[in-house]
Chains A and B, each alone.
Chain A
Amino acid sequence: MDIQYIGEHLLPGNLGNFFIVLSFTAALLSSIAYYFASTQNDLENQQWIKLGRIAFYMHGFSVIGVMVTLFYLIFNHYFEYQYVWQHSSKSLPVRYMMSCFWEGQEGSFLLWSIWHVVLGFILIKKAKNFEAPVMTIFSTVQVFLASMLLGIYIFDYHLGSNPFILLREHPEYMELPFVKVPEYLTNLDGRGLNPLLQNYWMTIHPPILFLGFASTLVPFAYAMAGLWRKKHNEWVAPALPWTYFGVMILGTGILMGGAWAYESLSFGGFWAWDPVENASLVPWLVMVGGAHVMLIYKNRKQSLFTAYVLLILTFILILYSTFLTRSGILGNTSVHAFTDLGMSGQLLVYLLFYVLIAAFLLIKNYKAINIDSVEDNSTSREFWMFIAALVLLVAAFQITFTTSIPVINKLFGTNLAPPTKPVEHYNSWQIPFSIIVALLMAITQYFKYKQTDLKTAFRKLLASIIIAAVITLLAIFALELYNGFLIALFFTSFLAITSNIDYIFKVLNGEVKKAGASIAHIGFGMILLGALIATGKSRIISQNTSGIDITKLGKEFNNMENIMLAKHDTLQMGEYFLSYRGRRIEGVNHYFDIDYFQRNEKGKYDLAFTLSPIVQTNPRMGNSAEPDTKHYWYKDVYTHITYAEMEPAEEAGHKHNDEDGYKNYASATMAIGDTIFGSKSLIVLENIFKEADSLKYHFGANDIAVGATFKIIDIHNKTTIAKPIYLIKGNTASPIDAEVENIGVKLSFKNIHPDNGKIDIDLSEKDTGSQEFIILKAIVFPFINILWLGCIIMIIGTVLAISARLKKTKFNIA
């Protein structure tokens, strides 16, 4: 049974496996060394720190080694490796090779692990007194992550999933016949990358998102270090900038995910409350709350316990969401979720390990850290910041609970299904929470720590309140905003924008450096406002124009959101007239060119723009539709193909085939001046003439040709001339038809009645039944750019806040 396989490259795989084992052992060694460094006295701990550092560097470089090796395999198309075979193919463009890397679970764990390594390297340099305890936590996390890639059997338990496993040794394939063929590699091509991921957003979104995940480890590690080493006061200051860094990066990652969904998924929007989206939003909400409670502690030495809990919870929630999305438990509720690679048990152990340790440390230190909670003064800034954090926590709880329905079913044996209308369900909770959060963002900066003179605060706020109220009133009419909650959210989020702008000028005297928090709050207000307008007032314009009475099917049938558009047909859709021009095929992409016309004042149709939504064919993974969007500054027109026949693509070339696509519509005997009606046109016989151009038809002496001139007026009042010919050549009649393709009519000159000068005409029309068509859905999102602009402003604000904070801490230390 010893087969010599031809063309395999086993060395890089062995090297990769070596790095995996090394990264695991080094992380273990580093945890132990840093543990002793944290607990030993001064003299010995330098030795331990040295060892811990060496071990962590070793770990870091071997993780990088694993990454480089895996990338090398993908880049060289070594399909003998299962991971490479499964996630890439020969035809894959180089720019998407990075995406192959994190398409699989192993690769995404690796990505996560690499960011921890990078952050760990920075902390080794910067954490000073906290290095040992913080790095102990880091290293243990890395032990768990490295174990995810081990892929070894301990007794009967399969620990981790190895990215360097050979295809022929993979348990799923090792029984298949190809394994017996020594030259199986010669013609082997990979399965290819999921087309949904072949998108530029997917090359930048996962690294950012995983950096966001990784950055929650830093405040967690500081908090754990604080609890463990009883440095309850000291950990907050160094952890604070890291917490805001996490808020910024994770927030960016989540919004990029939204942008990706909006640009290349076809669910029609940027947020769908999908469990996978929720899983990263929830930790973010809790971290934002935690970051603000840290500020309370920093300024007032209050609410330390809450700060600990929220930052620990953030990281635990990251682990929980990893568990949710990777254990396969979401199977029936999410399309994004990974399937189980048999690692759910491992993930659960990982999760419980930190939950138990954190709970133990919190209980042990409860007396020491449960010092002052926020004082009972509702005119203080800290009071309202604390309330805001609590609102965020409750909001996070609501989302988690609904998302966890499959987990609840598992635990309690229930048979609950997620809400049938998830978006409405989540919105009914989250919109009220957003209203409160926006209001608090607007007013809290005007409160002072300890105590505030409410009159002064109100006076300062008055101008912003008036502006926001006026704009809200205008918006109610302009946007037809007739829902109480939406009006309230519009007002509070707009107030958050105006009051924070005002704050920068009035209180901070326009000093941008100090204005980080205000700018970030403006950005977040804009995100809420943009989301509210874009989704609350989005219009599905591909609705109900087919002329078919939908209501007769019953009330239940009013969710008709797709229309059919036949080739060359024109349909009205909202303010646009759509015409499907045809499809272009470029590689695996089918582009459907759809012209959007608008009627101008003169009643003429102007081409407004052309959209080319894509259907990407992939026989192995299924075709996927990618929308195309026309961006205006004040609105987006979004279009995607919900259905298209993918087979008749070749037919486009045989359009002139006589039988193809035309159906007899009417026959008539006509005199000059007579009119016949087509389904979409009006056809007038203008004159009959004798075709004199004898050369054109190779006339013989007795041949005759008679032509007829028809004026065809289509529904857009456009006139086209068509001239069918009646030809008698050598005693046989052979008519030459006139086809007008853009209207879809064909005229055949069948006979002449010399006695009365009338002619017989057959009118055929393009049969939409056999004609190529597409089904599409089109949505207008008004003012969605407010949302994207808000994202950018929020990022800028957070960066400013972090840099201001860093300068301050440096000053304090010096």
Chain B
Amino acid sequence: MKKIHIIILLVIALSIAAIMGTVADSSTYASFKVAAANEGDEYHVVGKYVKDKGIEYNPQQNANRCVFYLKDNENKEFKVIYNGAKPQDFEMSEQIVVTGKATAGVFIADKILMKCPSKYNNTSDPSKTTNTSAS
């Protein structure tokens, strides 16, 4: 067996390890129901911000804590505590992906990814963007 063959075997082994490692590190998209049933496991939950319930954020007390409600794709509402500053334009987001785990009936998120529809996709009425200064 030539050295190069051993090396190629090593490369293949490493690639398989990379696949396994990625699968091991990856988490799962889930609903709040699943997250609540498996407390302490990391999940990504996709949902919509429940505007009526508002967001609780008191930077004077703690700049790194906001509390809000998220409705997941199965329409289950869940209280989310995010350990970070309130993202700018939070209210404008159409869809939110929170990453974290459920504990005692709340979802502790350590990451938020917001999808603002207006930022990269544009579906608003052009007539609303006309400037009225001329009238």
Task: Confirm or deny: B33 has a beta carbon within 8 angstroms of a beta carbon on chain A.
Answer: no
Query: How many whole Å from A680's CB to the nearest CB in chain B?
Result: 15
Query: How many whole Å from B55's CB to the nearest CB in chain A?
Result: 11
Task: Check A405/B28 contact, CB under 8 A, given A564-B63, A773-B60, A775-B63.
Answer: no
- B52-75 vs A, CB cutoff 8 Å, 1 = contact: the mask equals 000000011111110000000000
Task: Check A643/B113 contact, CB under 8 A, given A405-B22, A419-B27, A775-B59.
Answer: no
Query: How many whole Å from A623's CB to the nearest CB in chain B?
Result: 5
Query: How many whole Å from B70's CB to the nearest CB in chain A?
Result: 14
Task: Confirm or deny: B37 has a beta carbon within 8 angstroms of a beta carbon on chain A.
Answer: no
Contacting B15 at CB < 8 Å: which of A194, A394, A417? A394
Assign chain A's interface to a size class: 35 or more
B115 touches A187 (CB 8 A): no
Interface residues of A in 744-776 (CB under 8 A from B): 768-769, 773, 775
Q: Give Cα A390–Cα B3 distance, bound, in whole angstroms.
A: 14
**Which residue of chain B has its CB nearest to the CB of A641?**
B88
What is the count of residue pairs linking A and B with beta-carbon distances less than 8 angstroms?
178
B4 touches A373 (CB 8 A): yes
Q: Give Cα A416–Cα B26 distance, bound, in whole angstroms.
A: 6
Q: Give Cα A429–Cα B22 distance, bound, in whole angstroms.
A: 10
Task: Confirm or deny: A318 has a beta carbon within 8 angstroms of a beta carbon on chain B.
Answer: no
Query: How many whole Å from B35's CB to the nearest CB in chain A?
Result: 12
Contacting A415 at CB < 8 Å: which of B28, B65, B92, B122? B28
Contacting A188 at CB < 8 Å: which of B25, B29, B126? B126
Assign chain B's interface to a size class: 35 or more
B61 touches A548 (CB 8 A): yes
Q: Give Cα A393–Cα B11 distance, bound, in whole angstroms.
A: 9
Task: Check A188/B130 contact, CB under 8 A, given A390-B7, A548-B61, A562-B64.
Answer: yes
Task: Confirm or deny: A172 has a beta carbon within 8 angstroms of a beta carbon on chain B.
Answer: yes
Task: Confirm or deny: B118 has a beta carbon within 8 angstroms of a beta carbon on chain A.
Answer: yes
Q: Give Cα A167–Cα B129 distance, bound, in whole angstroms.
A: 13
Q: Which residues of A contact B64 (CB under 8 A)?
A: 550, 557, 559-562
Interface residues of B in 45-103 (CB under 8 A from A): 46, 59-65, 83-89, 92, 97, 99-100
B116 touches A643 (CB 8 A): no
B130 touches A187 (CB 8 A): yes
10 A-B interface contacts by CB (under 8 A): A184-B127, A194-B119, A338-B120, A390-B7, A402-B25, A405-B22, A420-B110, A546-B62, A548-B62, A559-B64
Contacting B126 at CB < 8 Å: which of A167, A546, A553? A167
Task: Confirm or deny: A622 has a beta carbon within 8 angstroms of a beta carbon on chain B.
Answer: yes
Task: Check A85/B15 contact, CB under 8 A, given A338-B120, A624-B88.
Answer: no
Q: Give Cα A178–Cα B126 distance, bound, in whole angstroms.
A: 8
Interface residues of A in 164-183 (CB under 8 A from B): 167, 172-173, 176-178
Contacting A332 at CB < 8 Å: which of B11, B97, B120? B97
**Which residue of chain B has its CB nearest to the CB of A645?**
B59
Interface residues of A in 386-434 (CB under 8 A from B): 386-387, 390, 393-394, 397-398, 401-402, 405, 415-421, 425, 428-429
Contacting A401 at CB < 8 Å: which of B18, B86, B125, B131? B18
Q: Give Cα A394–Cα B10 distance, bound, in whole angstroms.
A: 10
- A539-563 vs B, CB cutoff 8 Å, 1 = contact: the mask equals 0000000101010010011011111
Q: Which residues of A contact B85 (CB under 8 A)?
A: 562, 642-643, 775, 777
Chain B interface mostly? mixed
Query: How many whole Å from B3's CB to the nearest CB in chain A?
Result: 5
A643 touches B88 (CB 8 A): yes
Task: Confirm or deny: A191 has a beta carbon within 8 angstroms of a beta carbon on chain B.
Answer: yes
**Which residue of chain B has its CB nearest to the CB of A403?**
B22
Contacting A419 at CB < 8 Å: which of B25, B92, B124, B134? B25
A378 touches B84 (CB 8 A): no
Query: How many whole Å from B20's CB to the nearest CB in chain A?
Result: 10
Task: Confirm or deny: B32 has a beta carbon within 8 angstroms of a beta carbon on chain A.
Answer: no
Q: Which residues of A contact B19 (CB under 8 A)?
A: 401
Query: How many whole Å from A787's CB to the nearest CB in chain B?
Result: 26
Interface residues of A in 499-537 (CB under 8 A from B): none
Query: How many whole Å from B85's CB to the nearest CB in chain A?
Result: 4
Task: Confirm or deny: A615 has a beta carbon within 8 angstroms of a beta carbon on chain B.
Answer: yes
B92 touches A339 (CB 8 A): no
B60 touches A623 (CB 8 A): no
A418 touches B26 (CB 8 A): yes
Query: How many whole Å from A432's CB to the nearest CB in chain B?
Result: 10
Q: Give Cα A548–Cα B60 distance, bound, in whole angstroms.
A: 10
Task: Check A769/B60 contact, CB under 8 A, given A394-B15, A417-B28.
Answer: yes
A417 touches B26 (CB 8 A): yes
Task: Confirm or deny: B39 has a beta carbon within 8 angstroms of a beta carbon on chain A.
Answer: no
Q: Give Cα A335–Cα B15 distance, bound, in whole angstroms.
A: 28
Task: Confirm or deny: A620 has a beta carbon within 8 angstroms of a beta carbon on chain B.
Answer: yes
